[in-house]
């Protein structure tokens, strides 16, 4: 069997078109556009490229976008004051601090300083709690898990009653996607298992999965024999395993590999996401959706 590819690059375009249309409608009716500030501390090359893509996407959708670059040595106090300024700015609906932060800054303190009603990353403990309760309590589902759920739903994969196995227990992907898939409601209602580094027999759990979501950060961890024939396999891993010269640009680019042995897995799975071009493009897409949601909450139309 050859699996059907679930392409984040295609689903992204579908969703961004929907967001763009909604932005136009809201602008015409309410005279407001979503406002997003991205705070970047230092010049970590991976962060610079993420942030650049966020800005390009926000601009394309007609958002107000502020790119706030701060020096590597900004004090924690000054960064907290900056966040407070954006918390109080009515034209800003999403405040995002790009991670990772330099070592002298307490990441937890910074994330906790963002107004939970502008926390479009969904990382604030208040939003983590809202997600846990589920249903109408949820304000900002974290972007990567929300993107994964959209990919599953838009591919027509049945989630109700499905055995979902999540590999990895991170706060950003593993724990929230497991929580989202077990909630009552469309695109969820699944029976969920989380496996991790201390799990005794990871393979036996994975083999039961109708939907296998892998976010371990270990290239090629999931072997083809761990996959149930016909299963939906979502590979969240983006592992840099080397460098090559791009044919298009002539520049050095990273060689990326997922957590799943893709070439072998695609012959067994029913659906599979590639790396790159799978889950990756969905994170920024869902960030845009959350920023629009934030404006809609403010206008009372969410």
> At its nearest, how many Å lie between ligand GUN and the CB of residue 132?
19
* Counts of helices then strands in the chain (DSSP H, E): 10, 11
Contact 181, 165 (CB under 8 A): no
In angstroms, the CA 56 to CA 65 distance is 9
Is 238 a residue that touches ligand GUN (CB under 6 A)?
no
Catalytic residue from among 54, 139, 228, 289: 54
Residue 151-190 contact track with ligand GUN, rule CB under 6 A, x = bound: ----------------------------------------
Is 99 a residue that touches ligand GUN (CB under 6 A)?
yes
The length of the chain, given as a count of residues: 302
Q: Which of 57, 183, 283, 291 binds ligand GUN (CB under 6 A)?
A: 283
Q: Which two tokens stand for residue 98?
A: 């790009």
In angstroms, the CA 11 to CA 204 distance is 31
| The one segment of 95-103, 149-157, 182-190, 203-211 that binds ligand GUN by CB under 6 A | 95-103
Q: Which of 16, 23, 79, 143 binds ligand GUN (CB under 6 A)?
A: 143
> At its nearest, how many Å lie between ligand GUN and the CB of residue 58?
14
Is 96 a residue that touches ligand GUN (CB under 6 A)?
yes
Cβ-based nearer residue to ligand GUN, 51 or 167: 51
Beta-carbon contacts of residue 247 (< 8 Å; ≥ 6 apart): none
275: left (phi over 0), alpha (psi -120 to 50) or beta: beta
- How many Cβ atoms from other residues are within 10 Å of residue 56's Cβ? 12
Cα angle 249, 253, 254 (rounded to 5 degrees) comes to 160
| The one segment of 91-99, 175-183, 185-193, 250-258 that binds ligand GUN by CB under 6 A | 91-99
- Would residue 289 show up in a list of annotated catalytic residues for this protein? no
> At its nearest, how many Å lie between ligand GUN and the CB of residue 123?
7
Alpha helix positions (H), 70-211: 76-87, 107-113, 125-133, 143-154, 174-182, 202-206
> At its nearest, how many Å lie between ligand GUN and the CB of residue 69?
15
Q: Which of 65, 119, 121, 235 binds ligand GUN (CB under 6 A)?
A: 121
- Would residue 121 show up in a list of annotated catalytic residues for this protein? yes
> At its nearest, how many Å lie between ligand GUN and the CB of residue 263?
27
Q: Which residue in the block uniquely carries the two structure tokens 């979501």?
A: 213
Catalytic residue from among 121, 235, 259, 261: 121
Chain centroid to CA 225: 28
Q: Which of 98, 149, 183, 190 binds ligand GUN (CB under 6 A)?
A: 98
Q: Under DSSP, is residue 227 helix (H, G, I), strand (E, B) or coil? A: coil
Cβ-based nearer residue to ligand GUN, 96 or 180: 96
112: left (phi over 0), alpha (psi -120 to 50) or beta: alpha
Q: Report CA torsion sign: 222, 228, 230, 232.
A: negative
| The one segment of 1-9, 96-104, 163-171, 222-230 that binds ligand GUN by CB under 6 A | 96-104
Q: Which two tokens stand for residue 114?
A: 């963002």
| Binding residues vs ligand GUN (CB under 6 A) | 50, 96-99, 121, 143, 283
Active site residues: 54, 98, 121
């Amino acid at each position: 069997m050859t699996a059907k590819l679930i392409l984040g690059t295609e689903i992204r375009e579908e969703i961004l078109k929907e967001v763009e249309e909604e932005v136009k409608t809201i602008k015409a009716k309410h005279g407001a556009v979503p406002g997003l500030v991205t705070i970047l501390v230092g010049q970590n090359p991976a962060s610079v490229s993420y942030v650049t893509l966020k800005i390009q996407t926000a601009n394309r959708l007609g958002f107000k976008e502020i790119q706030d670059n701060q020096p590597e040595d900004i004090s924690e106090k000054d960064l907290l004051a900056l966040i407070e300024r954006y918390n109080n700015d009515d034209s800003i609906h999403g405040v995002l601090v790009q991670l990772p932060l330099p070592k002298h800054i307490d990441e937890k303190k910074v994330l906790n300083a963002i107004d939970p009603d502008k926390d479009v990353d969904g990382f604030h403990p208040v939003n983590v709690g809202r997600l846990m309760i589920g249903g109408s309590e949820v304000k900002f589902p974290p972007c990567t898990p929300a993107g994964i759920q959209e990919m599953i739903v838009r591919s027509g994969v049945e989630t109700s009653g499905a055995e979902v196995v999540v590999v990895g227990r991170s706060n950003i992907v593993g724990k929230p996607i497991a929580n989202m898939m077990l909630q009552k409601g469309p695109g969820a209602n699944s029976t969920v298992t989380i496996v991790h580094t201390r799990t005794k027999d990871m393979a036996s759990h994975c083999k039961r999965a109708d939907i296998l979501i892998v976010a371990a950060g270990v290239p090629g961890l999931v072997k083809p024999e761990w996959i149930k024939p016909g299963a939906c396999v979502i590979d969240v891993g983006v592992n840099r395993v080397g460098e090559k010269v791009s044919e298009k640009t002539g520049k050095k680019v990273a060689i990326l590999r997922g957590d799943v042995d893709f070439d072998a897995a695609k012959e067994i799975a029913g659906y599979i996401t590639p790396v790159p071009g799978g889950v990756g493009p969905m994170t920024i897409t869902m960030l845009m959706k959350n920023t629009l949601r934030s404006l809609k909450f403010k206008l009372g139309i969410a």
